Amino acid sequence: MLIFAIFLTLSQLLIVYLIFRKELHDNIQKEEANDLLLLRLNSLKHEAELIQQDIKTTRILRHDLRHHYRMLYALLKDNNTKAALEHITKQEETIAGMRAESMKKGQ
């Protein structure tokens, strides 16, 4: 009878140990999944910020481009071709400078 009681106690301890081990394993998996989700969330937030920045930059460029066209239109309407060409040249130089600066940052 004593052997049966010891066997029963040991089997109960083994069951408790196995349950505890499974719970621990499940918790570790949940923590790893949460860590991955947090990384994904942070990545998505960063991408959203970059997209918002690109949208803002695009709006500014569109606004500037509209004004450049208006200026060129007015200069050409007044037959001031020389000033229109100077304006275009100046804008090309500005764009080339921005491109060179952008390439330096990309290195």
pLDDT digits (tens, 9 = 90+) for 17-54: 999 999 999 999 999 999 999 999 999 999 999 999 99
Chain mean pLDDT for the chain:
92
Which tens digit of pLDDT belongs to each residue from 76-86?
999 999 999 99
pLDDT for the residue numbered 26: 95
Q: Rounded to whole angstroms, how far apart are CA atoms 98 and 56?
A: 17
Instruction: Tell me the CA distances in angstroms from 8 to 12, 18, 29, one per residue in order.
Output: 6, 15, 32
Distance (Å) of CA 27 to CA 5, 19, 20, 31, 32? 33, 12, 11, 6, 9
